[in-house]
Structure 1
Amino acid sequence: MTTFETPAHPPTDTPAHPPTDTPAQASAAASGASATDRFRTDKSPYDAVRDTPCERVDLLAREVLAAVHETIRKHHVTYDEYNALKAWLIGVGEDGEWPLFLDVWVEHEVEEVATSHRSGNRGSIEGPYYVPGSPDLGAQGTMPMRPDEQGTPLVWSGRITSTDGTPLRGTVELWHADADGFYSQFAPGIPEWNLRGSFSTGPDGAFRIHTIRPAPYQIPTDGSCGKLIAAAGWHAWRPAHLHVKVSAPGHELLTAQLYFPGDPHNEDDIATAVKPELILAPVAQADGSEAVAYDFVLDPVR
């Protein structure tokens, strides 16, 4: 293990669409602070586990620490390496990057375990950039976007049903990055609800959404997570994706990311969140747009 320093020759990957914001404007620290503040505002994590028995906490804490201890023994970790790790952990907190770190490298395993019982649609990670309360645009509508929003127009049609095929009156919350790889409310200069919207279906469960195809992007690399990526020789790329939360009364919430075929990082996503069932099949249209059909099957609450 090397120290977590920026290499003399940083990775040569560049965004698919060069960002209009400067790195200083869209920094990891700023994004991390926004993600941390948003998590604290939107989540009440301790309420859900308030009654967890001490035995459960003891079991999980001891096994996590045992795994760390085993790694230290197996690989003869030195004090220099330990102190580099300690400094890095402090840096992750100072940069506000714990939501980013956990969502990129840990959440996919939690999601797999939590949804393994489902027979409906497969899900994926939420990620650090979800914001509740996006505008309700009805069953058919256009995502909020700037007049000159860049990107290929995308028209998505689908339906929400239960596992027995019954159409559901439900909601599709959609959010995604723009053509420069930035999310509204986490990067400067973007309108508050840009490319964030909710679509409430009628009794037939059908929806139709107009948006743009997002771009692949690198997770922020100028903070502590970037130091880990550089030290380990990893890449920082996420394939282009649409985020969704799909809900209906009496059914389990589905959180997922939908991907596009042919993206070079579908196979090596830094967040390990791509599943074959989540890859869309867009069809090019004569007007230069793309059309895609993708439905959701929700599991009833057990």
Structure 2
Amino acid sequence: MTTETQATAAASGAGATARFRENKHVGGGTSQARVSALAGRLIKAVNDIVTDELVSYDEYNALKAWLISVGETGEWPLFLDVWVEHSVEEVANANRHGSKGTIEGPYYLPGAPVQHSPATLPMRDEEPGTPLLFQGHVKSVAGEPLAGAQIELWHADDLGFYSQFAPGLPEWNLRGTVIADDQGNFQINTIQPAPYQIPTDGACGALIAAAGWHAWRPAHIHLKVSAAGHRLITTQLYFEGDEHVADDIASAVKPDLVLAPTGRADGQGREVTYDFILDRTTEALDRIGRSR
């Protein structure tokens, strides 16, 4: 039987590529002028590096071989989400007044099983790891509780693997969608995830080795939090004391997103409280403006 520890970069990359094609809308709304401007700047930046750094043909051919390898292993979602997405996220959320967002990463899956709070994420019998009670409150920027807010939560297991991207794990292991109560409160029982290295046996790993970088991400919980009339927030929450909070390979950690769990009074693991504050959508703000 194949187990999660036998996961490969190629299999994970192929899965991430397939999920991206299934779940992401790639529209054609960008104008020709905008494409020309962005592609032109990208090509110019590459050529500037070549001339500034006096890139040799050996280095150029190594780059070509590496780009081919990234495509062959399906690792473009991993590469882009690790090294580029954090900048896209900052641009996308520059005008947000509520909770801080950060990258989605390549391992999100829509359609996780729905439960009402209090909830327990799907997990194996005797799931390895420290039990964690994650709780909090969802409210608007104005301080109003958001009844029935939706909290999508997913994270790696105690060995650093994600369900549906590593063999041997149950389909929805440590993935769930939780509906908050009529006061916007939620309680979710799970386990505290572990830090992990991004896959290193493929093209991204070859780049990391060649550059002498590390491949570690700090332990984190992924979340998408939404409520009617409010902007969805995509974020990750990290854990105080993790050695890679300060040097996350994905550059996704923000001080506001670092948790400090404490031991539970009953001795059954740890607990932490974190509240989410959601901005109104533009449409909701327009309706409020028209009603005044």
Look up the equivalent residue of 1:135 and give its one-letter code. P
Tell me, yes or no, if structure 1 residue 198 matches structure 2 residue 163: no
Look up the equivalent residue of 1:119 and give its one-letter code. H
Corresponding residue to 1:52 among 17, 24, 30: 30
Match in the other structure for 2:164: 185
Q: CA deviation at 1:181?
A: 0.4
Q: Distance in 1 between matches of 2:121 and 2:65?
A: 42
Tell me, yes or no, if structure 1 residue 137 matches structure 2 residue 118: no
Tell me, yes or no, if structure 1 residue 296 matches structure 2 residue 276: yes
Q: Relative to 1, partners in 2 of residues 1:196 and 1:21: Cα closer, same or farther, differing over 3 Å? A: closer
Match in the other structure for 2:104: 126
Q: Distance in 2 between matches of 1:128 and 1:21?
A: 17
Q: Distance in 2 between matches of 1:76 and 1:277?
A: 41
Tell me, yes or no, if structure 1 residue 218 matches structure 2 residue 197: yes
Match in the other structure for 1:164: 142
The secondary structure found in structure 1 opposite 2:115 is coil
In the TM superposition, what are the counterparts of 1:57-76 in structure 2 within 5 Å? 57-76=35-54
> How many aligned positions are there?
278
Corresponding residue to 2:234 among 252, 255, 261: 255
Indicate if the aligned counterparts of 2:4 and 2:161 stay in contact, CA closer than 8 A.
no
Q: Distance in 1 between matches of 2:270 and 2:240?
A: 13
Q: CA deviation at 1:297?
A: 0.2
TM-score, length-scaled by structure 1: 0.90
My pick for the range that moved more, 260-269 or 202-211, is 202-211
In the TM superposition, what are the counterparts of 1:228-239 in structure 2 within 5 Å? 228-239=207-218
Structure 1 segments of 4 or more deviating over 2 A?
A: none
Q: Distance in 2 between matches of 1:55 and 1:230?
A: 38
Look up the equivalent residue of 1:290 and give its one-letter code. R
TM-score, length-scaled by structure 2: 0.94
Look up the equivalent residue of 1:298 and give its one-letter code. L
Match in the other structure for 1:11: none
CA displacement, residues 138-178 of structure 1 (integer Å, 9 cap, x when unaligned):
12110000001011100011111010001113100000000
CA displacement, residues 193-233 of structure 1 (integer Å, 9 cap, x when unaligned):
00000111133111000000000000000000000000000
Match in the other structure for 1:6: none
Corresponding residue to 1:35 among 12, 16, 28: 16
Tell me, yes or no, if structure 1 residue 207 matches structure 2 residue 165: no
Q: Distance in 2 between matches of 1:79 and 1:173?
A: 48
Look up the equivalent residue of 1:176 and give its one-letter code. H
Q: CA deviation at 1:288?
A: 4.0
Q: Distance in 2 between matches of 1:128 and 1:116?
A: 22
Corresponding residue to 1:272 among 251, 266, 279: 251
Look up the equivalent residue of 1:147 and give its one-letter code. D
Look up the equivalent residue of 2:143 and give its one-letter code. G
The secondary structure found in structure 1 opposite 2:114 is coil
Between Structure 1 and Structure 2, the one with more helix by share is: 2
CA displacement, residues 9-48 of structure 1 (integer Å, 9 cap, x when unaligned):
xxxxxxxxxxx644xx201011111111111111121x2x
Look up the equivalent residue of 1:179 and give its one-letter code. D
Indicate if the aligned counterparts of 2:233 and 2:278 stay in contact, CA closer than 8 A.
yes
The secondary structure found in structure 1 opposite 2:40 is helix
Tell me, yes or no, if structure 1 residue 78 matches structure 2 residue 51: no
Q: Distance in 1 between matches of 2:174 and 2:271?
A: 17
